[in-house]
Amino acid sequence: MDSRPWEKSETAERFRALRRKAIMKQSHLAEIIRISRQSISEIENAHVMPHPSTWNRFADLEAKHNQPRIVLPVHWDWD
């Protein structure tokens, strides 16, 4: 898969943005999407594009993380 430099940059930023938002280390993200920490580093430094299967696992995680949280009331009214 040949990619354009801007695609690598955008992908790198999405990986970094998710990690910042989730307050997550590269090693933790790597474990979740089942690749090495070094691969995360290469992606975030825009050296490589993730494999399609890696991209799919990342996109699923990103989508789950971006879903709005349900806010429950502090006091439930049981009557």
Tokens of 24: 């997550």
Query: How confident is the model at residue 47, as a pLDDT?
Result: 95
Report the share of the chain in percent with pLDDT over 70: 78
- In this structure, the number of other CB atoms found within 10 A of the CB of residue 43 comes to 25
First to last CA, the chain: 60
- Domain spans of the chain? 5-63
Measure the CA–CA gap between 32 and 75, rounded to whole angstroms.
35
Measure the CA–CA gap between 58 and 34, rounded to whole angstroms.
10
Please determine, for residue 72, whether its predicted confidence score (pLDDT) is greater than 70.
Answer: no
Measure the CA–CA gap between 50 and 46, rounded to whole angstroms.
10
Query: How confident is the model at residue 78, as a pLDDT?
Result: 47
For the domain bounded by 5-63, which CATH number is listed? 1.10.260.40
